[in-house]
Amino acid sequence: MNCQKNLIKIHNYKNIFLDRDGVINEVVIKDNLISSPRNVSEFRFRNDFLNFIENVDIEKDIFVVTNQPDIKRGLLKNDDLLAMHQIISSSFTIKEIVFCPHNDEDKCKCRKPLPGMINQIINKYNLTRNDCCLIGDSHKDMLAAKSAKVDAILLKTRYKKPLEGFPLIERLAELL
């Protein structure tokens, strides 16, 4: 990875991949467990994301890659997921949102930490990997980016441990 703490700036990249839950929107706490929103009423943009997206260069292509296993588990309806993604797409200039509806047990190639969703977008839009960077809040995000051979930046959260070997930021605004 060529990102270094003092050199991490989003202007170095043409294509930005964002994880959804914990980066774009707030996570939901249910029974002391971190969860994704399961309906539109639980979906809330993170203030940090709103500041970031309003100030990022409009010439950047922004993609969302998100694991959504609650679909497979029967805890999230596909229509609710699509409604949340419509809120994102209608509010901001997002090139594409790709999601994986599977559990870890399904062993599909699109589910992070595997690079399937990232590679799908890179191939579809003929992107150069050196021009891509993923911003995520979990080890699965970081490992998916590493497997896809794109740079990655870890957003620090109160609910996940930092992962060695990846640049760590406290707020998305640090990247501007």
SS3 letters across 44-78: CECHHHHHHHHHCCCCCEEEEEEECCCCCCCCCCH
> Over 80: is that where the pLDDT of 1 sits?
no
Query: Which pairing describes strands 132-136 and 96-100: parallel, antiparallel, or unpaired?
Result: unpaired
Residue 7's pLDDT is what?
Answer: 54
* pTM metric for this prediction: 0.93
Six-digit token string for 90: 């209608």
69-88 pLDDT, tens digit each: 999 999 999 999 999 999 99
Structural domains in the chain, sorted by start: 5-175 (3.40.50.1000)
> In which band, very low, low, confident or very high, does the pLDDT at 132 lie, cut at 50, 70 and 90?
very high
Residue 4 has pLDDT above 50, yes or no: no
With 50 as the cut, is the pLDDT of residue 106 above it? Answer: yes
Residue 57, Cβ density class (10 Å: 0-12 exposed, 13-18 middle, ≥19 buried): exposed
* Cα separation, 96 vs 110, whole angstroms: 15
